[in-house]
């Protein structure tokens, strides 16, 4: 896996398609590696004429880890957020946006379409707000503005997220880690488009063999918590923006997507019925069509939800 130096750290990356084609940068979510993007999705983007760039966020995959910063307390970070007390995370989402810009610069890409999922959507939002000249368009998938008062995860999703595999310390019982991740993915996945358990197990095992950094997940989560409300930044975004959200998302409820689209001038909102917090194979064709139309300016910008109903 190739890597590059950007923003003072080492970042693993991968590209697909013709380097002379229009660049499109994919930004992964919390704790996810670049390999989390389905191969069929990446191949579909290439077939649509994009030069696809993926990378491992800091503290995940094969990119630089911040183990020297230790594993922060999420409970303490949450309390500080509620009480509006200052916090000192090892890094911020702004740093991760700088990483992404650094990847583009290292690859000689002046401007790119940005597609981010969950935390990656937040990073993409900050890229579009802080580096408008570098962003051709923004697609924010199952993400949020971070505004106070928005609904949080369902109780079931919260329990699945906070539960820890028995005896797992990042280098021990791999079977427990696979079980934990599969159960988490099942808890937050799309109820109308379930992924077979054997496929989830194969995907999770492959990811854990590539890399596992539990502390990195916590540090990324702290960066999200410390970022707070991004509404003022979202209101400055000038890039054409598409917000995609699942109507059945139990981790980041659809109200978060609606709020994101309302905050970004001219953004278009696409709500997909039956979709949770994942990219199920059954919806990849629909997602590719949306991104293709958006990137090529074939979508009339508005903030009216277009509900995709399962046929």
Confidence of residue 7 (pLDDT cuts 50, 70, 90): very high
DSSP-derived pairing of the beta strands 3-6 and 112-117? unpaired
Q: What is the pLDDT of residue 89?
A: 87
Measure the CA dihedral 75/76/79/83, to 10°: -170
Mean pLDDT, all residues of the chain: 91
> How is the chain split among helix, strand and coil, in percent rounded to 5?
45, 15, 40
Q: How far apart are CA 101 and CA 111, in angstroms?
A: 9
Question: Cβ distance 189 to 293 under 8 Å?
Answer: no
Q: Residue count of the chain, please give it.
A: 311
Distance, C-alpha 220 to centroid of its chain: 11
Q: What is the pLDDT of residue 174?
A: 79
Give the model's pLDDT for residue 303. Answer: 41
Q: Report pLDDT for 83.
A: 57
Model confidence over 71-119: pLDDT tens digits?
777 666 656 655 566 678 899 999 999 999 999 999 999 999 999 999 9
What does DSSP assign to residue 250?
Answer: S
The residue that leads in pLDDT, 229 or 311, is 229
pLDDT recorded at residue 310: 40
Q: Can you name the CATH fold of 3-308?
A: Rossmann fold (3.40.50)
pTM: 0.92
Measure CA of the first residue to CA of the last residue in the chain; give whole Å: 40
The tokens for 171 are: 């280098």
Nearest to 129 by CA among 266, 234, 24: 234
Look at residue 177 in the predicted model and tell me its pLDDT: 87
In the beta sheet, which residues pair with residue 135? 112
Mean pLDDT, range 210-224, rounded to an integer: 91
Number of Cα atoms under 13 Å in the Cβ half of residue 196: 3
Q: What angle do CA 182, 55, 123 make, to 5 degrees?
A: 85
What span, in angstroms and rounded, lies between the C-alpha atoms of 78 and 285? 38
Q: Please write the tens of the pLDDT for every residue from 145-202.
A: 999 999 999 999 988 887 766 555 544 577 888 999 999 999 999 999 999 999 999 9
**Band of residue 311 on the pLDDT scale cut at 50, 70, 90:** very low
Radius of gyration from C-alpha coordinates of the chain? 18
Cβ-contact 240, 294 below 8 angstroms:
yes
Q: How many other C-beta atoms lie within 10 A of the C-beta of residue 227? A: 21
Tell me, what DSSP letter sits at residue 64?
Answer: P
The interaxial angle of helices 214-227 and 93-106, nearest 10 deg, is: 110
Whether the CB-CB separation of 11 and 3 falls below 8 Å is answered with yes
pLDDT band of 47, cuts 50, 70, 90: very high
Tokens of residue 169, six digits: 């310390």
**What pLDDT was estimated at residue 74?**
64
List residues bridging with 26 in a β-sheet: 54, 115
Q: What percentage of the chain carries pLDDT values higher than 90? A: 78
- What number is the average pLDDT over the span 240-247? 98
The answer on pLDDT for 238 being more than 50 is yes
CA 170 to each of CA 12, 164, 213: distance values in angstroms, whole numbers, following the listed order:
20, 11, 6
């Amino acid at each position: 896996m190739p890597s590059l130096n950007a923003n003072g750290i080492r970042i693993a990356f991968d590209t697909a398609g013709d380097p002379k084609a229009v660049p499109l940068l994919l930004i992964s979510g919390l704790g996810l590696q670049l390999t989390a993007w389905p191969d069929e999705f990446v191949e579909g983007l290439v077939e649509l004429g994009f030069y696809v760039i993926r990378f491992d966020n800091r503290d995940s995959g094969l990119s630089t880890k911040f183990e020297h910063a230790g594993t922060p307390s999420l409970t303490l970070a949450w309390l500080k957020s509620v009480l509006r007390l200052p916090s000192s995370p090892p890094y911020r989402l702004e740093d991760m946006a700088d990483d992404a810009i650094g990847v583009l610069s290292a690859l000689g890409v002046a401007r790119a379409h940005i597609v981010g999922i969950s935390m990656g959507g937040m990073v993409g939002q900050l890229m579009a707000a802080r580096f408008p000249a570098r962003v051709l368009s923004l697609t924010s998938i199952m993400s949020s503005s971070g505004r106070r008062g928005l609904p949080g995860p369902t109780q079931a999703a919260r329990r699945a997220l906070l539960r820890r595999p028995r005896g797992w310390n990042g280098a021990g019982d791999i079977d427990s880690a696979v079980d934990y991740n599969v159960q988490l993915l099942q808890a937050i996945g799309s109820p109308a488009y379930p992924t077979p358990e054997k496929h989830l197990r194969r995907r999770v095992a492959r990811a854990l063999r590539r890399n596992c950094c539990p502390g990195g997940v916590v540090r990324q989560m702290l960066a999200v918590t410390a970022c707070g409300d991004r509404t003022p930044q979202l209101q400055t975004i000038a890039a054409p923006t598409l917000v995609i959200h699942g109507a059945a998302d139990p981790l980041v409820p659809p109200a978060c997507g609606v709020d994101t689209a309302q905050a970004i001038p001219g953004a278009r909102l696409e709500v997909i019925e039956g979709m949770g917090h994942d990219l199920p194979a059954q919806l990849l064709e629909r997602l590719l069509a949306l991104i293709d139309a958006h990137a090529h300016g074939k979508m009339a910008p508005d903030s009216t939800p277009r509900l995709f109903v399962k046929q």
